[in-house]
């Protein structure tokens, strides 16, 4: 590996499973300390036990859509490791409907987790980041820190049935470009990775959970949300994808790792699409 993240600390939201877990694993393999975050404490304990280098991992269970939780997660990271050098705003889920069936609650839920949560995480981290950069400047040091916000081709291209999700993910791009301008003076690279179809529970064939055969649903705030993609649509999307397949969580994590690494020290305000060439 042409770089190391030894001595660096990363906060990865939504890292109990799927892409977030794969990102955490990649960062740990590169030498970083990692704070895991997800909703479910038991899931986080299982994930922490699965990861290599458990001595470099802490976790905090929190619902990031509650107003105080993002600051609490940032504080927990600083308390555990004494620093935050990398922030990956990955937490999220889909709640799809055509617009005439989309409720205010549904639309707001997508904004809350995909756009407002990253804003609150970054706002909470700003005091540490600014003070650390100023302290380093007095010693003529340049320490590059990293923010990677997760967007989607639904945000860059739009996608039928995803007015809330697509709007929130488009907003992530605006937040990314704005923070790149605000935080450049503090030596922070702020970039986004936009995913296409990645092999997670959100893109299982609609109506079935592979492990049980039962309907695939997600429980959020008292709502039973169906997840998955109709089998015919999934096959069509694979055919339209130049690479002819879904991406793996490890491939998704690789794109994020680039932006977390010194290889991207002169890249900021950019959006990298990791979607196998697929566009909606």
Please give the positions annotated as active site.
165
Structure token digits, residue 203? 């893109």
C-beta separation of 203 from 246 below 8 A = yes
C-beta separation of 153 from 280 below 8 A = yes
Nearest to 82 by CA among 26, 35, 146, 28: 35
d(C-alpha 277, C-alpha 279), whole Å: 7
CA dihedral 153, 278, 91, 205 (to 10 degrees): 120
Task: Kindly write down the DSSP assignment for every residue of 11-22, as one continuous string.
Answer: EETT-SSHHHHH
Nearest to 228 by CA among 216, 213, 211: 216
d(C-alpha 19, C-alpha 253), whole Å: 6
C-beta separation of 114 from 234 below 8 A = no
Percent helix, percent strand, percent coil in the chain, to nearest 5: 45, 20, 35
CB atoms within 10 A of CB 208: 14
């Amino acid at each position: 590996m042409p770089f190391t993240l030894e001595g660096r600390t990363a906060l990865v939201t939504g890292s109990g499973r799927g892409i977030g877990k794969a990102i955490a694993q990649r960062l740990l393999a590169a030498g970083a300390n990692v704070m895991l975050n997800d909703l479910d404490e038991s899931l986080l304990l299982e994930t922490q036990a699965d990861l290599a280098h458990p001595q470099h991992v802490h976790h905090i269970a929190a619902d990031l859509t509650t107003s105080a939780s993002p600051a609490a997660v940032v504080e927990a990271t600083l308390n555990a490791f004494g620093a935050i050098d990398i922030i990956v705003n990955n937490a999220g889920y889909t709640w799809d409907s055509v617009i005439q069936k989309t409720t205010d609650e549904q639309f707001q839920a997508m904004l809350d987790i995909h756009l407002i949560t990253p804003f609150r995480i970054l706002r909470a981290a700003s005091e540490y980041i600014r003070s650390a950069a100023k302290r380093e400047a007095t010693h003529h040091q340049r320490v590059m820190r990293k923010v990677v916000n997760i967007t989607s081709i639904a945000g860059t291209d739009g996608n039928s049935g995803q007015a809330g999700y697509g709007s929130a993910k488009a907003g992530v791009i605006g937040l990314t470009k704005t923070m790149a301008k605000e935080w450049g003076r503090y030596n922070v690279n702020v970039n986004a990775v936009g995913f296409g179809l990645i092999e997670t529970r959100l893109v299982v064939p609609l109506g079935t959970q592979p492990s049980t055969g039962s309907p695939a649903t997600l429980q959020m705030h008292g709502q039973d949300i169906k997840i998955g993609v109709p089998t015919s649509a999934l096959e069509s999307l694979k055919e339209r994808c130049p690479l002819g397949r879904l991406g793996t969580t490890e491939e998704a994590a690789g794109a994020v790792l680039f932006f977390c690494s010194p290889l991207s020290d002169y890249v900021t305000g950019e959006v990298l699409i990791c979607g196998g060439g697929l566009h909606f």
